[in-house]
Amino acid sequence: MDPWATLLAKAEAERTLAAEGRWEELAASTAERVRLAAALGPAPESARHVLEALAATQEQLITTLEHARGETMRELAGLRTNRGAVAGYAAAQSARTRSWVSDAA
């Protein structure tokens, strides 16, 4: 297989991995693709269409990663909000169990 087409196939596979949230596999595949690309010399003119497809695939991959990052940031923000709510519930619970308050009159 043409090495440039191999890079394109790897990028397309990475796009799928990202869409499925398979981050560890994506990291390994990306490292391999970078290694393969670094080993190649300048691209010949005949690789132009493959490189254009590779650039488009890379942009889609970046968009998917940016979306996933945004989702992660929203989840983390929610965790911070929930942590405050849990602390509030804990304070309310401990107020009911204070021994210095007597309900007997």
76-98 residue pLDDT tens: 888 877 666 666 666 666 655 55
- Does residue 98 belong to any structural domain of this protein? no
- Does residue 99 belong to any structural domain of this protein? no
Host domain of residue 30: 3-93
- Does residue 75 belong to any structural domain of this protein? yes
Query: Is 42 buried (19+), middle (13-18) or exposed (0-12) by CB count in 10 A?
Result: exposed
Q: What is the mean pLDDT of the chain?
A: 87
- Does residue 103 belong to any structural domain of this protein? no
Kindly tell me if the per-residue pLDDT of 105 is higher than 60.
Answer: no
The CA–CA distances, whole Å, from 41 to 4, 47, 102 equal: 11, 12, 83
Kindly tell me if the per-residue pLDDT of 61 is higher than 70.
Answer: yes
Number of structural domains the chain divides into:
1
Kindly tell me if the per-residue pLDDT of 51 is higher than 90.
Answer: yes
pTM of the model: 0.70
